[in-house]
Structure 1
Amino acid sequence: MGHYILFFTSCLVFAFVPGPAMLYTISRTVAEGKGAGFRVVVGIFCGSQVHVIIAAIGAASLLLTSPVLFNILRFAGGGYFLYLGLRKLYHIWVEGAGVGRKASVRPSSFKESLLVEVLNPKSSLFYLAFIPQFLPQEAAHPVLMLFVIGTIANFIMSLGDALIVLISSIIKKHLLGVGNYERHGQLAVAIIFLVLGGVVIFG
């Protein structure tokens, strides 16, 4: 029983540890609303499932033994963050110049969040280090069991992300007012993307 309590407690703790996914979720929710935030949560969940599968079959261990592969993924992820940040700044400039119309919720919320998570090699290392600790010694099918454990952990952490969306939405509604919060939120998203890109590449 204590083993399961430790597992669920650990998942909840990791769910609320600030990181790229949390910052991304908050910024998109504040900028584009609760609907976009929930699409981000689903995208991050699907991206994390890719890392769960990689960790379950043991392929994530390659990242520990191959610095070149790890760096390739790291630069790809950081480069994608920088691209998103620069593209966001461009859209803000275009909207400010009156060249185009602003869309309150972009359909790329899911796709972007999926790629943001998939291109983070540290997620694979996290699941590789985390889920084997809770693998029963008597497990007849360890790969399948690791997948199940990882999926449950991912689901619990996604519930934490969903709660963050709700909290961010409430803060946006009651504390930020109804002025230019969308434009300010878009600018915050761009800055966060650029900062995260630098952290991923140089961190």
Structure 2
Amino acid sequence: MADIQHYSAFLLACIALNLTPGLDTFYILARSGREGHAVGLGAALGINAGCVVHTLAAVLGLSAILMTSAVAFSALKYLGAAYLVWIGLRMLLARQTVRSPTETRGRGFVAAFRQGMLTNVLNPKVALFYLAFLPQFIAPHATRPQLGLLLLGLSFIATGLTWTLVLAMMGSRIHRLLLQRPRIGTWMDRVCGGVLLGFGLRLALQRRG
């Protein structure tokens, strides 16, 4: 690929970045552990759908707006932070309920997909990461840099999708334990809600630098 340089190093960096625990890792394990691997799969697919949006934004140059406009960056940052805080508060204040397999594989999947995608899309740090990271592997005299960015973005998504699917299946083991001990699930909701709330507050305090 003439427009891409050091592709092997890029893939190794992608694997290392995806293995680093963060909001995406925690969110998938929380949803899969609480509601089963089907809902965890929805969370994983939603997060990677958000990565597709960031890839297309980087290719089209839209992410550059976040780097040059403090207003655009702040607006997206506070919107994303508010969404994370809202999800966290819902989990903290939710009453204990019995979740049947049918319910989990219906509305739960869609909700997990939607929330996973929105938490990813509304994080300006992810957009700036794509804008700063991907161009480093584009050849200086590339004739089709947009195509190179697209291929790099899709490669990053492919490695991330593989890992997030593994996380979704790992979380399903926690789910089987929770079916036997519902009280643990209540505490897990509280812990997960608190962590998501913390991520939201952290995002609100972040700067572009």
- How does the TM-score come out when normalised to structure 1? 0.86
1:4 maps to which of 2, 7, 30: 7
SS at match of 2:20: coil
Match of 1:17 in 2: 20
Q: Distance in 2 between matches of 1:171 and 1:11?
A: 27
1:130 partner letter: F
Match of 1:72 in 2: 75
Match of 1:156 in 2: 159
Q: Distance in 2 between matches of 1:162 and 1:102?
A: 22
SS at match of 1:108: helix
Matched, 1:178 2:180: yes
1:117 maps to which of 120, 123, 139: 120
> Cα distance, 1:67 vs. partner?
1.4
- Give the 3 Å change call, closer, same or farther, for CA 21–69 of structure 1 in structure 2: same
1:167 partner letter: M
SS at match of 1:193: helix
- How does the TM-score come out when normalised to structure 2? 0.84
Structure 1, unaligned runs of 5 or more: none
Kept in 2: contact 1:43–1:111 (CA 8 A): yes
Structure 2, unaligned runs of 5 or more: none
Residue by residue, what CA displacement relative to the aligned partner does 1:30-81 show, whole Å, maximum 9, x if unpaired?
A: 1111111111110001111111111112221221111111111110000001
SS at match of 1:198: helix
Q: Distance in 2 between matches of 1:68 and 1:49?
A: 24
Q: Distance in 1 between matches of 2:81 and 2:190?
A: 19
Residue by residue, what CA displacement relative to the aligned partner does 1:76-124 show, whole Å, maximum 9, x if unpaired?
A: 000001111222233x23x46xxxx645622311111111111011111
Kept in 1: contact 2:35–2:99 (CA 8 A): no
Q: Distance in 1 between matches of 2:16 and 2:172?
A: 22
Matched, 1:195 2:173: no
Residue by residue, what CA displacement relative to the aligned partner does 1:108-148 show, whole Å, maximum 9, x if unpaired?
A: 11111111111011111111111111223453321122112
Say which is worse superposed, 178-187 or 33-42, in terms of deviation: 178-187
Matched, 1:57 2:60: yes
Kept in 2: contact 1:49–1:154 (CA 8 A): yes
Q: Distance in 1 between matches of 2:63 and 2:77?
A: 14
Say which is worse superposed, 180-189 or 121-130, in terms of deviation: 180-189
Q: Percent identity?
A: 29
